[in-house]
């Protein structure tokens, strides 16, 4: 479903990048994905740069707070999950063991959000849509195609997301190692697995679709990125994990049916 007009509760709906150098990050992702940017003024602080593909919002980039930069926090991609009632969801998350970093607040007319750390340590944003539902174009080259919860305690994490959001985890037979599909009703909306190697903290990971993997990786390298892992074959298409020039980590995915 490339074009989206709404998201059911429990569905990842948006991603944005907290960057040390937003202008440099914009240049990188423009070169890699062909994004254009619309800098949205904010009431306080720097603009929120909306990334557009074919005129549709697909992601965003904004500056990391200076105190986090000074603390040595690397740039990172945030994931947002759609909810119907932000206040009730945030309250339920707290009762289920989450740490609430930011209580519900309005983002002008765009919507409302809160920020929590789930009981296994993964940061996630809850989003109640106003004028902005999230990404309106997905699953096409240069857009978000998958969100994945990396957690070393799936039993606790899946119980939490089920209780708070109704998000169900179902073990998949696609991989040789344990992998879980996250489902809203019958729709697959994400996945989950244990950290693939030591030193990787629990987090929500983002994947962007590409038309052809090898040219995309070569372009990423030319633009200053590092290929951390891959490309690796999977039953549904090749994947690779990349670090952008500032150190933000994300993955590329060429689904079968795209060019080779």
In whole angstroms, what is the distance from residue 63 CA to residue 77 CA? 12
CATH class of 144-253: alpha beta
The confidence score (pLDDT) of residue 37 equals 98
The confidence score (pLDDT) of residue 172 equals 86
Q: Under DSSP, is residue 89 helix (H, G, I), strand (E, B) or coil? A: helix
0.85 surpassed by pTM: yes
In whole angstroms, what is the distance from residue 164 CA to residue 86 CA? 11
Superfamily per CATH, domain 12-129: 2,3-Dihydroxybiphenyl 1,2-Dioxygenase, domain 1 (3.10.180.10)
The confidence score (pLDDT) of residue 130 equals 97
> For residues 230 and 240, is the Cβ–Cβ distance under 8 A?
yes
What are the boundaries of each domain within the chain?
Answer: 12-129, 144-253
State the Cα angle at 171 between 186 and 81, rounded to 5°.
55
Are 12-129 and 144-253 the same fold in CATH?
A: yes
Bridge partners of 225, per DSSP, are none
In whole angstroms, what is the distance from residue 97 CA to residue 130 CA? 27
Task: Show pLDDT as tens, one digit a residue, over the chain (260 residues).
Answer: 589 999 999 999 999 999 999 999 999 999 999 999 999 988 777 899 999 999 999 999 999 988 898 898 999 999 999 999 999 999 999 999 999 999 999 999 999 999 999 999 999 999 999 999 999 999 999 999 999 999 999 999 999 999 999 999 999 876 667 899 999 999 999 999 999 888 899 999 999 999 999 999 999 999 999 999 989 988 889 999 999 999 999 999 999 865 44
> For residues 219 and 30, is the Cβ–Cβ distance under 8 A?
no
The confidence score (pLDDT) of residue 260 equals 41
* φ, ψ dihedrals at 210, nearest 5°: -130, 155
| Contact residues for 72 (Cβ-Cβ < 8 A; gap 6+) | none
Q: Is 166 left (phi over 0), alpha (psi -120 to 50) or beta?
A: left
* φ, ψ dihedrals at 92, nearest 5°: -65, -40
Work out the number of other CB atoms within 10 angstroms of the CB of residue 210.
27
Kind of pairing, strands 144-150 and 203-209? antiparallel
The distance in angstroms from the start CA to the end CA of the chain is: 22
């Amino acid at each position: 479903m490339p074009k989206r007009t709404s998201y059911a509760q429990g569905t990842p709906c948006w991603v944005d990048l907290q960057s040390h150098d937003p202008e440099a990050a914009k240049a990188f992702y423009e070169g890699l994905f062909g994004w254009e940017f619309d800098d949205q003024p904010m009431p306080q602080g720097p603009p929120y740069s909306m990334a557009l593909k074919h005129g549709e919002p697909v992601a965003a980039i904004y500056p990391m707070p200076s105190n986090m930069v000074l603390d040595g926090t690397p740039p990172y991609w945030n994931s947002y999950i759609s909810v119907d009632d932000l206040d009730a969801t945030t309250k339920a998350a707290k009762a289920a063991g989450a740490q609430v970093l930011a209580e519900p607040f309005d983002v002008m007319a765009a919507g409302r959000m809160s920020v929590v750390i789930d009981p296994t340590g993964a940061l996630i944003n809850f989003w109640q849509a106003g004028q902005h539902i999230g990404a309106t174009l997905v699953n096409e080259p240069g857009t978000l195609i998958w969100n994945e919860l990396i957690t070393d305690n799936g039993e606790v994490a899946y119980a939490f997301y089920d209780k708070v959001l109704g998000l169900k985890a179902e073990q998949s037979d696609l991989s040789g190692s344990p992998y879980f599909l996250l489902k809203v009703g019958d729709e697959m909306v994400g996945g989950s697995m244990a950290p693939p190697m030591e030193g990787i903290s629990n987090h929500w990971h983002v994947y962007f679709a590409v038309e052809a993997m090898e040219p995309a990786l070569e372009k990423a390298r030319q633009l200053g990125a590092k290929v951390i892992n891959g490309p690796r074959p999977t039953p549904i298409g090749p994947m690779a994990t990349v670090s952008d020039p500032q150190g933000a980590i994300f993955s590329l995915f060429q689904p079968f049916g795209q060019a080779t």
